[in-house]
Structure 1
């Protein structure tokens, strides 16, 4: 994106750093307080507002060892059955301007802190439905056992049934790892994967859901990346550039993005943060002092929280296309209420040179 953000988006970027600080402070990392530093985490690679803080060059929060004990983002139980677990956070249903859902496997669940930034800013409510290894799809996922594959299919049906009983959910965010499926007759692996996503989203849009936002799969590390980071920390070297992963390995094509773009529907959109994680050649395991992953592919809570302000700005831009030209109210006023008043904002870091 070129130029500057709108005033509202710029304020969102500044003010919602508070969310990242709150989440980081709640984790048992030795660097508590570092998360409040200017340019911490994703803020250091914000394409709209570049930011540098030399004090973070050798910082890694949490350390690879600490990352294993960082608890998941908080989420209150909203519904539980034998096959489906739904948790929620944000405003109470009666007060929420909008209810959104985050759905997918564990690669959806790790986005919760960034979605939380959006709903706090907007006065919305969110629900999350995730199952390990199981994306939202009409394809038959090829999991380690037939029992797990069958369970994934039942979970998908339960998700759709739950959404059918909850018409207040108007926007769905989806995310998932790169899955293998049982190819359908006449289709190859890739075509079956994209068809499965497309059909799952179409079934939601045919009901109460107005928009589907596909979160582009994030880069992966190598099996040795975290050990490299620990070694760089011990040697006093900046771990991000020392342990960067080639982009061609870290970021293979995402079939969910291909499915979304192939639909050519204004109701199915893509949120892609690749330019935060990667340059043209490399993807960084440490960004702005924040360790990106807790293993090879699941993001750390602190880093995802630092992505919150960028997620707010991204959703603002996507929602600009939701405007009904026949109505004067903006997209959010039409479809979920105006932003809440902004709170404390952190001082910005030094602009990049």
Structure 2
């Protein structure tokens, strides 16, 4: 005898009556709602077209917010209905239904994504995608994406083909917590209607208001706010508020309900048109699509045929809405693969051409439809078969086991992709290997193989000039931008390397203490320490990651010459003053950078360095004039404080990820070479302008030691020069030690003697 067939005892009848009285909600209508199906279609089409690069819908990503409100409404309605009809909330049954609805289809998409990764993405990305597979299968990928969004090492990496799973993770985390909260309220109320009502509304409104406030604040502070669950809870809670008010909405006059519904649909469409990448989102702007969705939901059947359902019941929208979950799962991996095949960011276009994007969307419809027909719908129908054949407990247990198996299978799939990926060193291992590779294992390598005349004396200089050495490796902006003095032949094959090609991406500078490099979200000024800690002369390096990469060479120079070396650097933030950085694709201005720049003033005064080296990367969205002016203000501040400033000219920027290109073209390395002048044109925003405006400012230029010819070779002296598209590998920087010393030493010596360094000073002295 099943629990449903058990006799209704007096105590059970009393408990059931108390629960129904406490909930005070009408039965959830079992009728199909065409307006919800139509809204799903609008939401998924907005997301898909935005991902394809259709500029007419700059806010297409807000379709995800529509899904959140609909999910909050439906889940809360089902939970309240179960409590009303059964007198309790069966958590196991609820989780089993969610698992059957979501996990098999999600696993099919994960398997398809894994297959496309192996077939189309470079092997260097397999490990990253494998980790994303594991995180997606276990529904924590949104936190992985949030962490990655503030990791400077990942700024230039291609988007993950599983990035869209972040929203599914948010929903699954909501599904785990919200039923427990409602069950706790129901148990505590114990049939007391006012207690249940007061607690439910209080907690729901508190979660809504608290999450909205946090979303507003966090969005202005941190890019990661887009992905994390606390900033999205208010969207799900808005759907819950509509469900809790289900007794009131049907009482609306039909014309009022219809008007409310049309206003809601207009707000959804408006959000697709007016919200852009630059809009601080989610934040308060999320109320536009979510508020519109809530209005359509509450209007519902009360609006009748004159409501939004008049448009939303259109047959093509209903078909898309029915497939919306599968379409969402499958479309983005195809777009990501299209971006890879179009070489977006790797020598091809800077963004995915719309034509490529639309073709990717059309192709994704096929597996999405097959997944719906062969997986999603059959599994759902099989659930009804099990419910009819088995006891509720048995059916629930089988479904939970199915969900667990899907989760484990997805995680195993991710591990398999990671195992198949080429081996990669950890950051600490790569940093530890760098000096050994250069100094012991394979020396000379890298720039050491170039004919750099470091033992020649400095040429004589006129009074008031700063001494620099004109060598075959290059010495100044004029030399770097002029006729290349040397040519390095680009090897035909990768061959044997000092650092294995698969580990180059991890060949980063060793910065100590840990976390001294400040990430995107940080505003404090970290101080990385190197050189001789007891040195009488202090050399400071300030700027972004393009400044910190020189720490590998300066640390060795400082230890040999008795200089204390410190680095104060922050991700994607030039060492300017009073400069607002505009970051392409970000929701708002980079406020953390402005705050860090302000804090840098006091940090410099505390460290009181003798010489300060400034460097920064490309900030094209901000503009050369603004960046040069901000850097000039920093130079003025340093001069006023009695510190000697010098600019480290940024090195040429590759139009693609160099190690990834080499992995694809091991037998054809010239395909990964690029034009020197084009690389310079896209690097070091404002550097040339600053040098023109401040002719007295020393400029240290290592361009021709990085790219000796008109064409930049990705490999020099058995070392891969770039570890991505724009950062030099730590091993190559370490091999530049003598070249860097050749240009830095005169600046330090000029400061030490308090006058122009004299000709004949030999840079090797003092080693």
TM-score, normalised relative to structure 2: 0.35
Tell me which of 230, 254, 258 is aligned to 2:689. Answer: 258
Residue 66 of structure 1: which of 481, 497, 503 is its match? 503
* Secondary structure of the structure 1 residue equivalent to 2:727: coil
Q: Which residue of 1 aligns with 2:742?
A: 313
Instruction: Please identify the structure whose Cα radius of gyration is greater.
Output: 2
Cα separation, partners in 2 of 1:47 and 1:99, compared to 1, 3 Å: same
Query: Contact 1:220–1:250 (CA<8 Å) still a contact in 2?
Result: yes
- 2:587 is the counterpart of 1:153: no
Match of 1:278 in 2: 707
State the match for 2:453 in structure 1.
48
**Which residue number in structure 2 is paired with residue 140 of structure 1?**
580
Q: Which has the higher strand share?
A: 1
Per-residue deviation at 1:111?
1.1
RMSD: 3.8
Equivalent of residue 91 in structure 1, options 532, 544, 550: 532
Under a length normalisation based on structure 1, what TM-score does the superposition of the two structures give? 0.71
C-alpha contact 1:63 1:291 (8 A) present in aligned 2: no
Distance 1:147 1:162, change over 3 A: farther
Q: How does 1:1-353 map to 2 (within 5 A)?
A: 26-27=432-433, 36-48=441-453, 58-76=495-513, 83-92=524-533, 95-138=534-577, 139-143=579-583, 144-145=585-586, 149-167=590-608, 169-180=609-620, 189-209=623-643, 211-223=644-656, 225-233=658-666, 235=667, 239=669, 241=670, 243-252=672-681, 254=684, 255-265=686-696, 268-319=697-748, 321-322=750-751, 323-324=753-754, 340=766, 342=767
Q: Taking structure 1 as reference, are residues 305 and 280 closer, same or farther at Cα in structure 2, changes over 3 Å only?
A: closer
Can you list the C-alpha shifts for 1:73-112, whole angstroms capped at 9, x where unaligned?
14236989962211212223xx312111111111111111
Distance change >3 Å, CA 28–CA 164, structure 1 → 2:
closer
Ranges in structure 2 where 5+ consecutive residues have no aligned partner: 1-428, 455-471, 473-485
More helix by share: 2
Q: Distance in 2 between matches of 1:106 and 1:316?
A: 22
Indicate conservation of the 8 Å contact 1:141/1:180, yes or no.
no
CA distance 1:37–1:294, shift in 2 (3 Å) = same
Deviation at 1:321, TM superposition (A): 4.9
1:291, distance to aligned residue in structure 2 (A) = 0.7
* Distance change (3 Å), C-alpha of 1:104 and 1:47: same
Distance in 2 of aligned mates of 1:83 and 1:196: 19
Indicate if the aligned counterparts of 1:180 and 1:193 stay in contact, CA closer than 8 A.
no
1:121 touches 1:339 (CA, 8 Å); kept in 2? no
Q: 2:330 corresponds to which residue?
A: none
**How many residues align structurally?**
297
Contact 2:442 2:498 (8 Å CA) reproduced: no
Distance 2:449 2:659 in 1: 21
2:540/2:568 contact within 8 Å kept? yes
Q: Distance in 1 between matches of 2:497 and 2:709?
A: 23
**Secondary structure in 2 aligned to 1:76?**
coil
Structure 1: give runs of 5+ residues left out of the alignment.
1-22, 183-188, 333-337, 343-353
